[in-house]
Structure 1
Amino acid sequence: MDKGQTGAIDKRQARAAFSRAASHYDEVAELQREIGRRMLQRLTYIRHQPQVVLDVGAGTGEATLALKKHYKKARTIALDFAMPMLHQVRKRGGWLRRPVCICGDAEQLPLADQSVDMIFSNAVLQWCNDLQGTFSEFLRVLRPNGMLLFSTFGPDTLQELRKSWSHVDGHSHVSPFPDMHDVGDAMVRAGLEEPVVDVDRMRLDYDDVSSLMRDLKTLGAHNVTRNRPRGLTGKGRLRAMYEAYESFRMDGRLPASYEVVYGHAWAPQQRQIDGVTAIPVDQIGIGRWGQG
Structure 2
Amino acid sequence: MSKASPHAGFVDQPQVGRRFARAAAAYGEGDFFAREVDRRMQERLDFVKLEPTRILDLGCSRGGSFAGLAARYPQAELIGLDVAPAMLLAGRTQRAGWQRWLGLGKQAEPLRLAADAAHLPLKSRVTQIVWSNLLLHWLDDPVPALAEAHRVLDVGGLLMFSTLGPDTLKELRTAFSDGYAHTQRFADLHDLGDMLVGCGFADPVMDMEVITLTYDDLDTMFAELRAAGSSCAMKARRHGLTGRKSWDSGRAAYEAMRKDGRLPATFEVIYGHAWKVAPKKTPDGRAIVRFDLPRKGS
State the TM-score, normalized to the length of structure 1.
Answer: 0.90
Give 1 or 2 for the bigger CA radius of gyration: 2
Which position in structure 1 is the counterpart of 2:182? 173
Q: CA deviation at 1:192?
A: 0.3
Looking at structure 2, the residues matched to 67 and 246 of structure 1 have their Cα atoms a distance apart, in angstroms, of: 41
Q: 1:99 to 1:284 in 2, by over 3 A?
A: farther
Is 1:214 the counterpart of 2:216? The answer is: no
Which position in structure 1 is the counterpart of 2:296? none
Which position in structure 1 is the counterpart of 2:25? 23
- Written as runs of structure 1 = structure 2, the 5 A alignment for 1:41-120 is 41-94=43-96, 96=106, 97-120=108-131
Q: 1:212 to 1:43 in 2, by over 3 A?
A: same
Which position in structure 1 is the counterpart of 2:240? 231
Q: CA deviation at 1:176?
A: 0.5
Looking at structure 2, the residues matched to 54 and 176 of structure 1 have their Cα atoms a distance apart, in angstroms, of: 25
**Is contact 2:7-2:185 (8 Å) kept?**
no
- Equivalent position to 1:154, from 161, 165, 188: 165
Looking at structure 2, the residues matched to 141 and 278 of structure 1 have their Cα atoms a distance apart, in angstroms, of: 22
State the TM-score, normalized to the length of structure 2.
Answer: 0.88
Q: CA deviation at 1:129?
A: 1.7
Which position in structure 1 is the counterpart of 2:150? 139
Which position in structure 1 is the counterpart of 2:193? 184
Which position in structure 1 is the counterpart of 2:39? 37
Looking at structure 1, the residues matched to 85 and 176 of structure 2 have their Cα atoms a distance apart, in angstroms, of: 32
Q: Over residues 27-73 of structure 1, what are the superposed CA-to-partner deviations in whole Å (9 max), with x where a residue is unaligned?
A: 12221111000111111111011111001111111212221221111
Q: CA deviation at 1:284?
A: 7.7
Looking at structure 2, the residues matched to 126 and 159 of structure 1 have their Cα atoms a distance apart, in angstroms, of: 15
Aligned residue-pair number? 279
Which position in structure 1 is the counterpart of 2:249? 240
Structure 2, unaligned stretches of length 5 or more?
Answer: 97-104, 294-298
Name which of structure 1's ranges 36-45 and 22-31 shifts more when overlaid on structure 2. 22-31
Q: 1:255 to 1:86 in 2, by over 3 A?
A: same
Q: 1:52 to 1:203 in 2, by over 3 A?
A: same
Structure 1, unaligned stretches of length 5 or more?
Answer: 287-292
Runs of 4+ in 1 over 6 A off after TM superposition: 276-279
**Once superposed, what is the RMSD of the aligned Cα atoms?**
2.0
Q: Over residues 152-200 of structure 1, what are the superposed CA-to-partner deviations in whole Å (9 max), with x where a residue is unaligned?
A: 000000000011111xx11111111011110111111111001000001
Looking at structure 2, the residues matched to 284 and 20 of structure 1 have their Cα atoms a distance apart, in angstroms, of: 55
Name which of structure 1's ranges 189-198 and 126-135 shifts more when overlaid on structure 2. 126-135
